[in-house]
Chain A
Amino acid sequence: MKCSHYLYVPLLIGGALFSCTSKTDRKLPIIGERETKQRVVDGETVIDTLYHHIPAFAFLNQDSTMISEKNFEHQIYVANFFFTHCPSICPTMQRNLLKVYQKYKGDERISFLSHSIDFKYDSPSVLKSYATKLGVDSEQWQFVTGTKKDIYGIAEKYLVYTKEDASVPGGYDHQGYLVLLDQQRRIRGAYDGTNDEQVAQLFIDLEILLNES
């Protein structure tokens, strides 16, 4: 009879696990500074929260077409900063982003945006050749170039450090973050694209964000 008590243990653990995993209301944080704005609606004062988000942009892509934030409307997307002849972190970062791309290839809810920080060398044709050789043959993953001011300026908005620096291999210093954006272009996560654990977390968080939107 004593044994029968133990029968409940796995049942209890199972129950506890189930109640955790079945919880679907987990949400990702909204990253960045926020401000509040008061306005009066029907004589009553309401307070809106304005979240940090990526402003409007326009860049030339690998097909020499101008693309803008409108190309990412009603989608979530993953953004990063790289350059084609980067000898250090970029290949690992792009190898990992390629795994995410391959998982969601053809899924219209999600797209990818790689900004080149080498505004001198990475012309659209160089980006096109790079994308093709990487194994990307669709518009779902955009590779863009722009002026130094525009690209480095938007990197700041993504909270990614980029700098032209002759003292580092390749000539440009930058962080290898894969930045996760929601449909309002708000930052919902940033993952070191060279770190396997963080990339695994990106796969998990992507599903959470897809379920939210």
Chain B
Amino acid sequence: MAQGPRLIASASMALLFGVFIKGCQPNVSIQTAQYAVNGQKLYVTHCQSCHGAKGEGLGKLYPPLTDTAYLRKNRDQLACIVKNGLHEPVKVHGQLYEEQMPGVPQLSDVEIAYILTYVTTRFGKDTDQYTQQEVRSSLVNCQ
């Protein structure tokens, strides 16, 4: 009889704990989180000066990276943009950006996967990891 309340108490504690963990990293697998951590370091080195620490961009010069709809629609183009740059105007959050973006050709496939995982899960609302395989097959089709 005395065990009843105790069971309920520990069950609700576990539930609460679970909610806390979920609250920190919503629906993101451990590997995705690892990719994002590695991606952050590379992002700071190669992307942050223009696109900002929060992916906010800079005025109408450099676009923000927070347009989830754009990221999803152009998911198969993202690896090409990081590697080769962008040399045509791009519309993000309804705003046209015309500056040319330099690529970072020295990045390896896995490094691009790290960066894109970081960008799409931290600034975009995606939860899936951007895999090395996805980068490889995207790069084959770069225009």
Most buried by B among A87, A89, A91, A94: A91
A-B pairs with beta carbons under 8 A, tally: 34
Distance between Cα atoms of A86 and B75 in the complex (Å): 27
* Contact yes or no, B61 A92, CB < 8 A: no
Q: Let me know if A135 is at the binding interface, CB within 8 A.
A: yes
CB distance from A138 to the nearest CB of B (A): 14
* Contact yes or no, B58 A91, CB < 8 A: yes
Distance between Cα atoms of A213 and B60 in the complex (Å): 35
The 0/1 profile, CB within 8 Å of A marked 1, for residues 58-70 of chain B is 1111100000000
Q: Let me know if B29 is at the binding interface, CB within 8 A.
A: no
CB distance from A131 to the nearest CB of B (A): 10
Distance between Cα atoms of A119 and B60 in the complex (Å): 23
Q: Which of A155-173 contact B (CB under 8 A)?
A: 169
* Contact yes or no, A95 B52, CB < 8 A: yes
How many residues from A make CB contacts under 8 Å with B? Answer: 17
How many residues from B make CB contacts under 8 Å with A? Answer: 12
Chain A positions within 8 Å of B, measured between CB atoms, are 85, 87-92, 94-95, 98, 130, 132-135, 169, 194
Supplied contacts A87-B50, A130-B61, 14 more A-B pairs, CB within 8 Å: A85-B99, A87-B49, A87-B102, A88-B49, A90-B49, A91-B49, A91-B50, A92-B48, A92-B49, A95-B52, A98-B59, A133-B61, A134-B58, A135-B59
Chain A binding surface, main DSSP class: helix
* Contact yes or no, A94 B102, CB < 8 A: no
* Contact yes or no, A89 B49, CB < 8 A: yes
**Contact residues in A for B48 (Cβ distance below 8 Å):** 92
**Contact residues in B for A89 (Cβ distance below 8 Å):** 49
CB distance from B93 to the nearest CB of A (A): 15
Most buried by B among A95, A134, A135, A194: A95
CB distance from A193 to the nearest CB of B (A): 11
Q: In the complex where A87-B49, A88-B49, A89-B49 touch, is A95 in contact with B58 (Cβ < 8 A)?
A: yes
Distance between Cα atoms of A130 and B59 in the complex (Å): 10
